[in-house]
Amino acid sequence: MRKIILLFLIISHNTFADTIDHYMDIANNIPQMEIKADQQSQAWARSARTILTLTSESITETLSLLNETASQQGSPLFCLPSGVQLNAGQVNDIIQQTYRSIPSQQSDKNKLSVSQVALMGIKKQYPCPQHQVTNANNQTLPTNPWGNING
Kindly state whether residue 145 falls inside one of the protein's structural domains: no
Kindly state whether residue 66 falls inside one of the protein's structural domains: yes
What's the rounded mean pLDDT across residues 52-61?
95
Type of residue at 64: S
Kindly state whether residue 134 falls inside one of the protein's structural domains: no
Kindly state whether residue 69 falls inside one of the protein's structural domains: yes
According to DSSP H, which parts of 1-87 are helical? 2-14, 20-35, 39-72
Kindly state whether residue 141 falls inside one of the protein's structural domains: no
Average pLDDT for the chain: 80
Confidence at residue 106, expressed as pLDDT on a 0 to 100 scale: 64
Model confidence band, residue 67 (pLDDT cutoffs 50, 70, 90): very high
Nearest to 16, CA basis, from 63, 52, 57:
52
How many domains, the chain? 1
**Distance set, CA 32 to CA 18, 27, 37, 45, 90 (Å):** 22, 10, 11, 9, 22
Confidence at residue 119, expressed as pLDDT on a 0 to 100 scale: 96
Residue 7 has pLDDT above 80, yes or no: no
Range of the domain at 67: 2-129
Nearest to 46, CA basis, from 58, 34, 59, 35:
34
Confidence at residue 43, expressed as pLDDT on a 0 to 100 scale: 92
